[in-house]
Structure 1
Amino acid sequence: MTKLELFEPAMCCSTGVCGPSVDETLLTITSVFEGLSQVSSVEASRHNLTSDPDAFVSNQKVLTLMKESGKDSLPITLVNGEVVKSGTYPSIEELTNYTGVVFVEQSESSSSCCGGSGCC
C-alpha cells in the first residue's frame, strides 16, 4: 500500500473556493484526494497547519524541513514517509507517479451533463 501525505500551509479551507478567487490548484488537489479515498491501494491524507498542527509536530521530516526553510517549504508531499516534493503542490503527473493511479483532467467543455454537446 502506498501512503501519500500532504502537509499544507495554514488555510481557512482546503477546497480553494473560499476567499475572493478560486484556487484551481487546490480544487485539483481536493478532487484527487477525494478520488484516492476510493482506491484501496493508496492511503492518502491531507494535513492543514491551521486545523491539524499536531501532524506537523509529530512528523520529524516535516518538522525539520519547516525549521530549515520555514513556511516556504509548504506544501510538503510525502510518499511512504519520504519527502518527495516541497514548496509547491504536486502535479497530476507527479501524483500518478507517486500512487500508480492515472488521473483524467476534465476540460470545461466535457464537464457539463452532456459532455459539451448541449443536449441538456
Structure 2
Amino acid sequence: MKKIAIFDPAMCCSTGVCGPSVDPELTKVAINLGILEKENIEVARYNLSTEPQEFVENSVVRQQLDEHGEQALPLVLVDGEAVKVGDYPTAEEFSEWSGIEKKKFSAEPKSQFTILE
C-alpha cells in the first residue's frame, strides 16, 4: 500500500480554515487527502509547529531542510521518498502517485467560504 506524507511549514492548522482568511490551497490539499484515505491510501500530515519531532526523526526530511532550509516546506514523501519540495501537490500529482484517476481529485476547493464582518 502506498503512503503519502506531507510535511507542512509551521502554521496554526493544516486545514486552511483558521485565522481571518481561508487558504484555498490548504483546503484543496485537505480534500484530496480525504479522497486518498477513502481509497485506502495511507496518508499522514505533519505540522512543524505542532509535531517538530516528526521532522527531526525523518532522515529524508532532515536532509531536505539541511539543503533548502524552510523553503523545502511543504515537503511531500511517497513511500518515504521526497517527490515534491516547496509546494503542495496538484490533482495530477496525487493521481500519479496513488494510481487513482485524476477526476476523483479536487483541482479547486469544493466550497468557498465567505468571511462576514
Q: Which amino acid aligns with 1:81?
A: G
Give how far 1:79 is off.
0.6
Query: TM-score if structure 1 supplies the norm length?
Result: 0.82
Contact 2:91–2:107 (Cα < 8 Å) also in 1 = no
Q: Which amino acid aligns with 2:78?
A: V
Query: TM-score if structure 2 supplies the norm length?
Result: 0.84
Query: With CA pairs under 8 Å and 6+ residues apart, which has the higher RCO, 1 or 2?
Result: 2
Match of 1:20 in 2: 20
Distance 1:9 1:58 in 2: 16
Match of 1:105 in 2: 106
Match of 2:77 in 1: 78
Equivalenced residue count is 109
State the superposition RMSD in angstroms. 1.9
Q: Which has the larger radius of gyration?
A: 1
Distance 1:33 1:26 in 2: 11
Give me the identity figure in percent.
Answer: 42
Match of 1:117 in 2: none
Q: Which amino acid aligns with 2:19?
A: G
Unpaired stretches in structure 2, ≥5 consecutive residues = 112-117
Q: Deviations over 1:93-114 (max 9, x none)?
A: 1111011123243878x86xxx
**3-state SS of 2:32 partner:** helix
Unpaired stretches in structure 1, ≥5 consecutive residues = 112-120
Q: Which amino acid aligns with 2:46?
A: H
